[in-house]
Amino acid sequence: MTPWTFFLEHRAEILEATADHLTLVIIAMVFAIAIGVPLGMLIVHRPTLRNLALGLASIFQTIPSLALFGFLIPIPFIGGIGRRTAIVALVLYALLPILRNTYVGLTGIDPAVLEAAEAMGMTQSQILWRVRLPLARAVILAGIRTATIITIGVATIAAAIGAGGLGTFIFRGVAMVSDAVILAGAIPAALLAIAADLLLGLLERRLKIA
Amino acid sequence: MHYDVPSLERGVSIEMNAKTAAENTGPAIQFQHVTYSLSSSVPRTIVNDICLSVASGQTLVLLGRSGSGKTTLLKLINSLLVPTAGQVIVRGRATTDWDPIRLRRGIGYVIQDAGLFPHFTVAQNIALIPSLERWDATRTAARVDELLSLVGLEPAEYCNRRPHQLSGGQRQRVGVARALAADPPILLMDEPFGALDPVTRAELQREFSALARRLGKTIVFVTHDVREALLLASRIILLESGRIIADATPQGFLRIDHPEVQAFTACLTPLPGASA
Ligand SMILES: Nc1ncnc2c1ncn2[C@@H]1O[C@H](COP(=O)(O)OP(=O)(O)OP(=O)(O)O)[C@@H](O)[C@H]1O
Ligand SMILES: [Mg+2]
């Protein structure tokens, strides 16, 4: 069986898995952004929280993904078999690039500009919303872009805990020792990652301030 | 390159505060034994025991070599820096007793190298304090137009540009307009004409000296150009390594017998090629 014939025979199934995969990624990204960006803003002026948040996010990132999924299964409420656990794990993974880029973007601003803002009599929160955030948005988006690509990849492993998505083909293919089946999961996942990268890259360039 | 010569006759509403500044009887700014040092491993004193009183409506020029502490003195006035010892009194109150936000809203600050916000248009940069003070849109827009004309930039052409689309000199002029926007009684100007070509610079200096006299604002003006100091100042302070070494009127300054003063006035002698 060639990959192509397998793909044609199972195209409806593959399409459905792709949609599931994308849903998983989008939900995880929405949560990761909703947590990562505000947290990044919060830690600009809070060094203790900053070390804690960045430290924790880095630790999550270093846990091998399969192990992280495994660790989460026995935890009540967020754990168990299925989508919810997978999303929690994906959020934890996506957090670091978003959090770090938000923080770096907000703090890596030309000090002369920040000093001007302060000298004009802007409050710290006005400086954050009106100066830091608009100037950091391209860097923040770059973090979101990295996180999205990571999440698309890691989400294939979510199939191991029954969350569905393109990983189902990969795991099935490994079990069947069939390249065709593995590729039916791997190729759409790669295409998704490339598409997300291009799209977000385009957006990022538009947000850049010359 | 051609710059429009700004006509300051258009700056009508800029004069609103002239009265308020004059009513303020005491000195607008006072330094009382102000020292500012860096608390690094080797403590460094940048400003050393400065006593200075700036009367309302005066144009005080701070002259001094690079690194002499001019910018530091300005930052002590608007509380960007806090004195290590002594105090700075602005409009009757020590800067440490002021709410820094209120203090700064009443002090226009032209930053060395302009310091414009790169993500704002020229109009948004100028309208920053008006927008923080919640002026309505019509009043703000009228003010922006007025100020752009004042600094010699055609409003229709420059309003929607971003700072990176301006020349260095144009950026500085936007910086001046931004500082004047909310009509503050005190203006701090850190080499505002530094990036201009000598011809435009001379024109702006003449216009500015006329403006300064009419506005009745208290102005602290930093420069290392003696000509500029003599032209604009009602009083010149010469700084050397964070200390005041001369305090004189422009006429008096030329007669001071101090090597650092003479080093500066020597810059005024005619060029070698000029005929005697
Ligand atoms: N944050 C800082 N850390 C270390 N040194 C500083 C700092 N700020 C200022 N200085 C030093 O303090 C001295 C005075 O600086 P200041 O900026 O007031 O000089 P200036 O007179 O404005 O010079 P210029 O004409 O070059 O702008 C300089 O020697 C400078 O190196
Ligand atoms: Mg300076």
- CATH code, domain with B238: 3.40.50.300
Q: Specify if B234 maps to a domain.
A: yes
Q: What percent of chain B has pLDDT over 90?
A: 51
Q: Do A121 and B115 touch (CB under 8 A)?
A: no
Q: Answer whether residue B88 is part of any domain.
A: no
**What total number of domains does chain B contain?**
1
CA distances from A20 to A5, A83, A145, A156, A167 (A): 22, 10, 20, 11, 10
Tens-digit pLDDT profile for residues B181-217: 988 999 999 998 887 788 878 888 887 887 777 778 8
Q: Is B83 within the bounds of a domain?
A: no
For chain A, positions 78-117, list CB contacts with chain B under 8 A. Answer: 110, 112-113, 115-117
Q: How far apart are CA B174 and CA B151, in angstroms?
A: 7
Q: Show Cβ contacts of residue B63 under 8 Å, excluding neighbours closer than 6 positions.
A: B70, B223, B224, B226, B229, B236, B237, B238, B239, B264
On whether ipTM exceeds 0.90, the answer is: no
Who surrounds ion ligand 2 at CB < 5 A? Answer: B 71, 112
First to last CA, chain A: 53
C-alpha to C-alpha distances, A168 to A11, A13, A67, A69, nearest whole angstrom: 14, 11, 18, 15
Chain center to CA of B275: 35
What does B58-84 look like in DSSP terms, one character per residue? Answer: -EEEEEE-TTSSHHHHHHHHTTSS--S
DSSP letter at B177 equals: H
Q: Is B48 in the pocket of ligand 1 (CB under 6 A)?
A: no
Which residue of A109, A120, A127, A133 is the best one to mutate when testing the B interface, meaning the one whose CB has the most B CBs within 10 A? A120
The pLDDT score that the predictor gives to residue B50 is 92
**Structural domain that includes position B210:** 14-26+56-75+98-268
pTM: 0.83
Q: Give domain status of residue B89, yes or no.
A: no
CB of B73 within 8 Å of any CB in chain A?
Answer: no
Q: From the CA of B225, how far away is ligand 2's center (Å)? A: 13
Instruction: Tell me if B51 is assigned to some domain.
Output: no
Task: Indicate the average pLDDT of chain B.
Answer: 85
Nearest CA to ligand 1 atom 16: B69
For residue B178, the SS3 value is: helix
Instruction: Report if residue B7 sits inside a domain.
Output: no
Question: Is B208 a member of any domain?
Answer: yes
* B133-158 mean pLDDT: 92
Amino acid at A125: S
Tens digit of each residue's pLDDT (9 = 90 or more) over A157-196: 988 888 889 999 999 999 999 999 999 999 999 999 999 9
- Decide if B114 is inside a domain: yes
Q: What is the DSSP letter of B114?
A: B
